[in-house]
Each structure stands twice: as C-alpha cells, then as structure tokens.
Amino acid sequence: MSEPVVDEGDITLERGTLWERTVSTTKRAIRSGVQQPIATTWQTLTHCGIEFLVRRLTHLHRKTRASEQADSASHSLPGRAAERVANPFLPYDENLWVADISTSHVCLLNKFNVIDYHLLIVTREFREQEEPLNSSDFAAMWACLAEFDGLVFYNSGPSAGASQRHKHLQMVPLPLIPDRSDDSSSHAQSQAARPRIPIAPLLTPSQPVEMDDTSGRPDHPPGGDSIACPGQIAIATGLPFVHAVVALDPALGESPDRAARHTLHCYHAMLRALGLVSTESTDVAPYNLLVTREWMLVVARSRECFGPISVNALGFSGSFFVRNESELQTLAQLGPLAVLQSVAIVSGGSTIDHGRGQ
C-alpha cells in the first residue's frame, strides 16, 4: 500500500473557529430538535487498576426508534453493524453542518449523540469506510485536532464497530469522564487526578516493536520496560491484545500539516507492523484507530461484539456504552479489559483476570 504525500492546499477551515462553531451549531440543532441527544447515565468500573467509563441508556425506546432510522445514531451508539440502505451523509442535513474542513471533508454534528459536541469528519464524496485512510483524511483530522483538545477515532469496518459505509472519522472533546459538578475539594482533586482518556495509563511503559517473522504480528522484545521515543512504534505492556502505539510530540499540533504528514507515515507503518496489510492486496484487516495530540493507537479487531455488547474504537479509549442493566452486569462481571480482549486479537500468551476491581 503506497503512502501518498499530504497536500495541505485544500484545507479551508478558518483557524480558531471550530469550537465556537461547534457550540453555536449544537445550541441551534438542539433547540430546533434536529439533534436528538441520547439520554444516558454514567458510572465508572475499575478493572486492572483502570477506571473505565460506562454510559447506560436511560430510554430504550428512544434508541430503538433511532436505530430504525437510516441516520447517524450508530456513531455514538455502537450497535449492530448492519448495513443501512440510506446514506445520512449524501446529502447531509444542513442543520447539522458545523464547518467546511477542506475541499474533501466537512464537519457535522452527530445527530444522535451520547457525548456532548461529538463531531463527524466526513468525506464530501462517497468513499468506503473500509478503505485505508489517506492524506486528505489525515489533513482534515489534524485541522480539527489543532482547534481543541480531543480524541479522534476511526472504525475501519463492521467488525471494528462501523455502522455506516460512507467514510468518516469522529472526534469528541476531552476529558471523556464527565465532571459531576460537585464543588467539594475532594471531588476537585479526584477529577484533576483522572486521566483525560481512561485507557491512557496502560499505554506506558511501552516497548519498541520487534517483528515475529512467522506470524507477521509484533512480539514483545526481551529485556525490561522502556518508554518509546516519539514516533517509534511500540507495544504497551498493559494491553493484552494485538496493537501498536506511537507517542507523539505534543508540539506537532501547532503545525497541522507537519502533524498530518508524520502521523500518516506512522499509520502506514503501524498497519504493516500489525500485519493488517499485504503487498499483494489493497485490502486492510479490521482495526480501530485512536489519535490524540500525544499518541496514536491501532488495535487489530476480530469481531464487533462480545455477546450483546458492541464495541467500537471508543471502547479502546476506556469508554463503553450499554443498553440495559443486564449488559452492565455482564461488563462488570467479566471486566472491561477482558471484553476488549475478546473482540480484539489476543497477544501471544496474554490473559487477564476477569472480574470487577481486579
């Protein structure tokens, strides 16, 4: 698979405007009823020392109605990756339009959002969601990441949790775990101590990748733990499934064009390191991509669901969505990290303890 050069000439988004546009468009869309936020409650589950975020649907009938519509509900509600006949992006609802990012991408609100200010970075023309990301995708992504601190994620196909065929990335603001708006000093200290992304503590320490020639998958190198240098492909020793992680220089975000070129190169290298692409085909095996200003993570996928629980890229950030108490109990009993392991590809010899609080 070739690595095209990023061409930044088509970026049209005015710098310093995206957050204000997102907030103002959201207010109008909610007021008019065009955006229909999905009501949830949230809690945290601690597993293997990590505080995972779990959102639970409060009105099942609302999700059922939303899932029957050929629209963008699936972007915030990881549901069955059923192919939809209608394309919500061609044409898109102009009331959900936030900004033109480039000549190739637009920024839209998620119509049925669980997370506030959930954005979609959508190609103007139809492209298959399972196609590899290209230079214009990375240019559009970094044009948005340069605007405010967020998490960009990508579900490469049905087995990775994608429910729409039209190519799109997604972005949510950080931190992921909401503030309970409690003014107590103990709460403030607890909120400040939380990572902006629940899974982040497991991304370090990490080890540089060595290839396993027989499997095409990365293997853990011998020796002690080490922190990978920015731009170096590594394995996070705390993640018990096949993945690759790259630390990024936070200063990259100050130059979106340079960031796009650098991370596009890393992306291709990570796919190759994981054996997700081959020289004989342009097809890419299922994966999730997560990108922040500080790191990027690729996770190889084996299936979309563990039982009734569907997992998309947000799951690998440490954020889950469940529809009812039964799914919540399943997640709590097995443990969120074990659920992630079950829908990814298990690393050689890696197993984790099941159960809450491990």
Q: Which domains does the chain have, with CATH numbers?
A: 10-202+305-343 (3.30.428.70)
Whole-number pLDDT of residue 60? 53
pLDDT band at 89 (very low <50, low <70, confident <90, very high): very high
Distance, in Å, from the CA atom of 76 to the CA atom of 111, rounded to the nearest integer, reads 9
Q: What is the mean pLDDT of residues 42-63?
A: 86
Query: Mean of the per-residue pLDDT values for the chain?
Result: 85
Whole-number pLDDT of residue 228? 59
Q: What is the mean pLDDT of residues 232-255?
A: 93
Whole-number pLDDT of residue 225? 35
Asked whether the predicted pLDDT for residue 141 surpasses 90, the reply is yes
Measured from the Cβ of residue 333, the count of other Cβ atoms closer than 10 Å reads 11
pLDDT band at 191 (very low <50, low <70, confident <90, very high): low
Whole-number pLDDT of residue 208? 81
Helices 135-145, 256-273: axis angle to 10 degrees equals 130
Distance of CA 103 to the CA centre of its chain: 24
Task: Note the pTM of the prediction, 2 decimals.
Answer: 0.86
CB 103, CB 12: distance < 8 Å: yes
Q: Which of 55, 294, 73, 297 lies closest to 177, judged by CA?
A: 55
Distance of CA 329 to the CA centre of its chain: 24
Asked whether the predicted pLDDT for residue 40 surpasses 60, the reply is yes
281 or 167: which leads in pLDDT = 167
DSSP three-state, residue 94: helix
pLDDT digits (tens, 9 = 90+) for 278-314: 877 778 999 999 999 999 999 999 999 999 999 999 9
Asked whether the predicted pLDDT for residue 221 surpasses 70, the reply is no
